[in-house]
Chains A and B, each alone.
Chain A
């Protein structure tokens, strides 16, 4: 990371701390804001957050690894999460899964070469009556079938 980038990131985190407070209970809000903007929370960012909240870097890392919507490694620009819970499974998740994999040429847990999409599983999205369900970034898609899922993927930039 360049010094300039580091300074910009530090400044950004300082502003977040000014906004959400420097108590350790502000940690998740700050991490979510960084995640939203950068799509991941770099090790430098983690240590800056730790410094400004007077906690230890490992505590920040611990929280990031606990939540699946926070990550410490860069991923694709878009994250597609397919529900793997039982209702969706029974509603035809397997077919959707196979189609998505074939279309993108990657497995779950992987990112396309052009960094456009990262595929992941998720647990229940609360859409059991409308499965199979899939989350694209922050938007939920329901009643999927292979064709519909592939069309959705193709629309993602």
Chain B
């Protein structure tokens, strides 16, 4: 029996789950159906869509998405089931009897064509200037079904004003086809609940509470809705024109930092199968585009580990040695800006549990416009910092008013993987053909620990490698440094490591069982916060949370489409690259040592590092006024 956890979901939106028999060998466990005259046997309860896909029969879909519950609202997947009065939607039809299905009758084809024509009659199509041109599910269906005229008319002017209030997500409802994938993403997958269908009939549109601009409601900017929208109705706020202008301005020194996840996914934008990293190729392409320096965000990921790890050890010391009861444990990670905004809105009373360490992106910005500017002899006013991120929320993060600790806007632009691919194409470069090259110094080398930040559990794994070794003087007791309990895509992972034979400085931790938890996707984050509220996390020390399902590699700025399978392949690419790196622990990164020697001379969590590398949070609450 599949347990439905999300009981709030209306029955109409709940997946049609027929209990699939555990043992398909027993009589009644499977069922034989005929699809286009071919006999196939499938487990009882399989949907027609699944049965067809398993047998290489293509059925078009629009509202269906592998990450979301079934909606059955677009009707494009209709098929003919013998004996049924009307056509049936394949995506929401569970097979429970030996039916005969036909997927391409004249009636089916005509119905599908009509559905597309009807969608087009309300869709403001201007494919040339559309960011989904070439990667749009509506466009490709129109092609697939040979749409050659607008049977039911066509929209000449946009029906809605574009909502570009948000720093991260832009909504253009004139291109929306009301598939409600974004609604299901935001309510079910992320449990943020920003979007729903507003009004009725012809006036239906997807909107926010009181139809307010996105910036005025509780959107956490995760961009997961963008990744699941079949059309261009949702897109990220693209700063590439400003970046081109900076590159073309000889006065400006344009520096780009690249996060780990885009490398593992950008190939997909160039037609490469998911699961290939293009780190070296990307470096070359970025230099050819005209960036003055190409740095590795993993360097500040290492720095984050040192700062956040030190903060954790300080908290533990206060709690254990000084018996200070005001210390908040477990410490929560703070590198996911979607998660930060989520906790600011939904659990503002728990903000003290959040590490004060900035995200790697913001640390990089602050270091670039101070330390790097000095070392390189460039006026920080002339430096433009760009961050290549898998993330939509990073755009909001770099625009937070408090993020100017260098005296300037620390990070000028957050750029998504998709937007980067577009810039590379615009420069006439085919990424997979580029020769490989290294990152630029002084932040050119990073550890594998920084690289695995891209996958859920990665921050925890990186932190454990460093904290365990600092405390005990030995490597983590896991084969080849691979901390298995941190890996995989389970919603919430929990485990512990025992600290034994500690070095003198950390004797107070002798025998302590470090308990940690890892969660990804804000629906899981919510569960963890409820555990905290109920006191079920007493005795826990460290919790990693990423707002996006799968962690950053499934971020809202990553190539479209996304699915569990694609995310898994991206993770494999990251972990494979990690094992090939010479340095795999943050505290062994020589550049990290260098910066603490030359610049942050008082060490981690000192006054200067607090000024540049730590931040504070805003109690936002969820009341929308």
Residues of A that sit less than 8 Å from B by CB: 24, 43, 46-47, 54-59, 61-62, 65-66, 72
Chain B nearest CB: distance from A54 CB in Å?
7
Cβ–Cβ contact A72 & B8, under 8 A: no
Question: What are the nearest 7 A-B pairs in CB distance?
Answer: A56-B193, A62-B196, A58-B196, A58-B209, A57-B209, A65-B199, A65-B198
- Tell which of A47, A54, A62, A66 touches B624, judged by Cβ atoms closer than 8 Å: A47
B: number of interface residues (CB 8 Å)? 20
Contacts of A54 in B (CB 8 A): 8
Chain A nearest CB: distance from B208 CB in Å?
6
Contacts of B10 in A (CB 8 A): 24
Per the 8 Å Cβ criterion, residues 1-43 of B in contact with A are 8, 10
Chain B residue with the shortest CB-CB distance to A64? B198
- The complex places the Cα of A62 from the Cα of B200 at a distance, in Å, of 9
Cβ–Cβ contact A62 & B197, under 8 A: yes
Contacts of B624 in A (CB 8 A): 43, 47, 57
Chain B nearest CB: distance from A29 CB in Å?
16
Chain A residue with the shortest CB-CB distance to B191? A56
Q: Residue B195 at the A interface, CB < 8 A?
A: yes
30 pairs, A vs B, C-beta closer than 8 Å: A24-B8, A43-B209, A43-B625, A46-B209, A47-B623, A47-B624, A54-B8, A55-B8, A55-B193, A56-B187, A56-B192, A56-B193, A56-B196, A57-B209, A57-B624, A58-B194, A58-B195, A58-B209, A58-B217, A59-B193, A59-B196, A61-B198, A61-B209, A62-B197, A62-B198, A65-B198, A65-B200, A66-B197, A66-B199, A66-B200
Grouping DSSP codes into helix (H, G, I), strand (E, B) and loop, the B interface class, with mixed when no group exceeds half, is: loop
Contacts of B198 in A (CB 8 A): 61-62, 65
Contacts of A72 in B (CB 8 A): 210
- The complex places the Cα of A56 from the Cα of B184 at a distance, in Å, of 13
Contacts of B210 in A (CB 8 A): 43, 61, 72
Chain A nearest CB: distance from B623 CB in Å?
6
- The complex places the Cα of A113 from the Cα of B284 at a distance, in Å, of 69
Chain B residue with the shortest CB-CB distance to A67? B200
Other 12 A-B pairs with CB < 8 A, given A43-B209, A58-B217, A61-B198: A24-B8, A43-B210, A46-B209, A47-B624, A56-B194, A57-B624, A58-B196, A59-B193, A59-B196, A62-B197, A65-B198, A66-B197
- The complex places the Cα of A55 from the Cα of B8 at a distance, in Å, of 7
- The complex places the Cα of A59 from the Cα of B10 at a distance, in Å, of 11
Pick from A54, A61, A72 the residue with the most CB of B within 10 Å: A61
Contacts of A56 in B (CB 8 A): 187, 192-194, 196, 209
Chain B nearest CB: distance from A25 CB in Å?
9
Contacts of B208 in A (CB 8 A): 58
- The complex places the Cα of A155 from the Cα of B625 at a distance, in Å, of 39
Contacts of B8 in A (CB 8 A): 24, 54-55
- The complex places the Cα of A61 from the Cα of B197 at a distance, in Å, of 9
